[in-house]
A = this chain, B = another copy of it.
Amino acid sequence: MQPADIEGFFADPATLDLDRYLILDYTLECVGDPRLAMAHLCSEQSTAQWKRVDVDEDLRPRFAAKVIGMEVLEEREALSYPVTQAAEGRIFACRVRIAHPHENFGPRIPNLLSAVCGEGPFFTPGIPLIKLMDIQFPQVFLSAFQGPRFGVQGLRDLLNAHDRPIFLGVIKPNIGLPPEAFSAIASEAWMGGLDIAKDDEMLADPDWSPLEARCRHLGEARRQAEQATGTPKMYMANITDEVDRLTELHDIAVERGANALLVNAMPVGLSAVRMLRKHTQVPLFGHFPFIAAFSRLPHYGIHSRVITRLQRLAGYDSVIMPGFGPRMMTSDEEVMANVRACLEDMGPIKPCLPVPGGSDSAATLQRVYEKVGSVDFGFVPGRGVFGHAMGPRGGAASIRQAWDALARGVPVAEQARQYPELARALEQFQ
């Protein structure tokens, strides 16, 4: 790239029609001149060759991604993480904001991913380390998507659960139980006060627990628990499977009484979720397998918030995500970025319920509530309910007892003096 070529990849945002652009924030470590590296970054993710040989044309004004802001944060002695065959020279840690013309591909998730975290950004000459930190969409782009069908308010209405968190539980043992036994322990948990009993993200449609039979048993148990408690309940069946089975499995599950569905976002692909959203009659919950493989390290990969935004855009009513505390090796700041990505204004796209989780129990509810700072979250213990020494009914009860204390401003430990299930949970899990 010649010095004169670099200018074609920079623009004053005041001169751009921002409805035409996605806004991308990257952090990166480049080798050599940062302006040259950023021009390459824009070129590689859009018009890598912007004219034909021997034709007097320039495709950049309309089609090039353009730097609209950049900052050199520091010069570094070495890359944060060594990279094979990285270029040699002075190393600069930078932040860059890019306007990327969405008419290059249109409102399509696979094509968006191919451009903003594809070969372009990750194989730009002079940029061995890069992380896509955030993405913002103009209204015209968002309005091509359906987003969540139910969203936070819709979920609350279905469950008749207002002004409090939604209480979920991952049925455990997660792998290996036949449907009857699985159903019996879910039943106990509903009776103890759980709103939603869910399949583990690894439990799908195996021979030893076919989805059809599992939904039949749990659908019936769910209805019985609703009658016994006079309260709506949900059974969330995991229909994660090959994408050409998703709508069929939706129908099988819903007809038999599953009234929420779990689909692992990245393993099936976000586009398959968007497809299922067009068909679904019940709330869709996303789970996070695969995401940590590209989001954990602070200076390389893709920030988990980007994937949360895309899950909401694809149509999930709720996003299960790594939660607070050392167990999930995720900073509070990152968890909160994901919580906000679920709840903040996104134009025509409804809010979805954030479910920050990971080894939760009655002993961790206060922390999650205080960190989130509102009741708009789902709380999802596994062993905290199903491994409780008094069984799943006691485990579920301990969660509701902890919440009753928090809602009334009573210390959880004080509440435990009156409730053996809560006392036992604190003893077992704290």
Contacts and interface: CB of A to CB of B under 8 A. Distances in A.
A202 B106 contact: no
B84 A329 contact: yes
A374 interface: no
Contact of A85 (B63, B302, B326, B382): B326
Interface in A72-90: 80-87
Given A108-B241, A113-B290, 6 more contacts: A45-B202, A59-B175, A63-B176, A85-B325, A114-B290, A293-B301
A294 B208 CA distance: 33
A111 interface: yes
A263 B103 CA distance: 19
A47 B176 contact: yes
A423 B119 CA distance: 30
A62 B52 CA distance: 62
B293 A122 contact: yes
Interface in A265-285: 266-272, 274-275, 278
Contacts of A259: none
Taking each of A206, A269, A272, which has the highest tally of chain B beta carbons within 10 Å of its own beta carbon? A269
Given A113-B266, A185-B52, A271-B242, A175 B47 contact: yes
A240 interface: yes
Interface string A235-272: 00000111110000000000000000000101111111
Taking each of A81, A83, A120, which has the highest tally of chain B beta carbons within 10 Å of its own beta carbon? A81
A288 B105 contact: no
A213 interface: no
B269 A268 contact: yes
A174 interface: yes
A16 interface: no
A48 interface: yes
